[in-house]
Copies of this chain bind each other. A is one copy, B any other.
Amino acid sequence: MGEDKKNNIVEAALKLFEEQGYHQTKVSDIVREAGVAQGTFYLYFQSKEDLFRSIAEACLEEISEALKHGPHAPCQNNEVYYWMIQRSLTVYYHNRAILSIMYRNGIASQEIRDISQAFYHEMMLIIKEHLKEWGGCPDYSEEQLEIAAYSKIGMVEMVAYQWFVVQGHGPEYIDSIAQVIVDMDSMEVSEE
């Protein structure tokens, strides 16, 4: 019962944050959309920022959880790479609402900044491990591996944002995008 109302609030907030942005969305908008009273909001969240933090945390955790687990069957070479890209895109596609919110609303506060930063750091560590396991960069220093990892994250995030959020394409693009990203890398070298 209580969880129902809390859920309504979260759903309403997600919808409105995505549509109009965090700062443009008033608590009164959220409760109207959720069909609850003003006070009910503060029964479940300490403040508007607390709600945003809670949403951000949950979604970022979902993303990192999804990327944490490697491919089911062992695979080699850039199959891992392909898997990683494809998997990331899928996760981003399903979380395109929050991705949009994080991208478009930036850092609402110091606390959100820390959460966001911790998320990227964790993502980077996961990717770095994948890169090591995969063995594609044998003589890279830790620092170089980190640069490589961050670049992968940025790549996927930007393309996902442009394709799924800005242009509004559906999941049918996931495979072809992944293919382009992986092929592109190969091609660059086949040039040499």
- A132 proximal to B (CB < 8 A): no
In the complex, the answer to whether A103 meets B106 with C-beta atoms within 8 Å is: yes
Min CB–CB distance A22 → chain B (angstroms): 8
Min CB–CB distance A1 → chain B (angstroms): 16
In the complex, the answer to whether A147 meets B120 with C-beta atoms within 8 Å is: no
- A172 proximal to B (CB < 8 A): no
- A126 proximal to B (CB < 8 A): no
- A32 proximal to B (CB < 8 A): no
CB-CB contacts below 8 Å: A155-173 with B: 155-159, 162-163, 166
Q: How far is the CA of A102 from the CA of B88 in the complex (A)?
A: 24
Using Cβ atoms and an 8 Å threshold, which residues of chain B touch A81? 188
Q: Which residue of B lies closest to A102 (CB)?
A: B106
- A75 proximal to B (CB < 8 A): no
| A163-192 contact mask (Cβ, 8 Å, vs B): 1 or 0 | 100100000000011001100111111111
Q: How far is the CA of A177 from the CA of B124 in the complex (A)?
A: 16
In the complex, the answer to whether A77 meets B191 with C-beta atoms within 8 Å is: yes
Interface residue SS majority, chain A: helix
Min CB–CB distance A39 → chain B (angstroms): 12
Using Cβ atoms and an 8 Å threshold, which residues of chain B touch A124? 162
Instruction: Tell me which of B147, B159, B187 contacts A180 (CB under 8 A).
Output: B147
Q: How far is the CA of A148 from the CA of B163 in the complex (A)?
A: 12
Using Cβ atoms and an 8 Å threshold, which residues of chain B touch A190? 189
15 residue pairs from A and B, CB less than 8 Å apart: A24-B109, A77-B191, A78-B188, A81-B188, A147-B159, A147-B163, A147-B177, A150-B162, A150-B163, A151-B155, A151-B159, A154-B158, A154-B159, A186-B192, A188-B189
A residues within 8 Å of B by Cβ?
21-24, 77-78, 81, 103-109, 113, 117, 120, 124, 136-137, 140, 144, 147-148, 150-159, 162-163, 166, 176-177, 180-181, 184-192
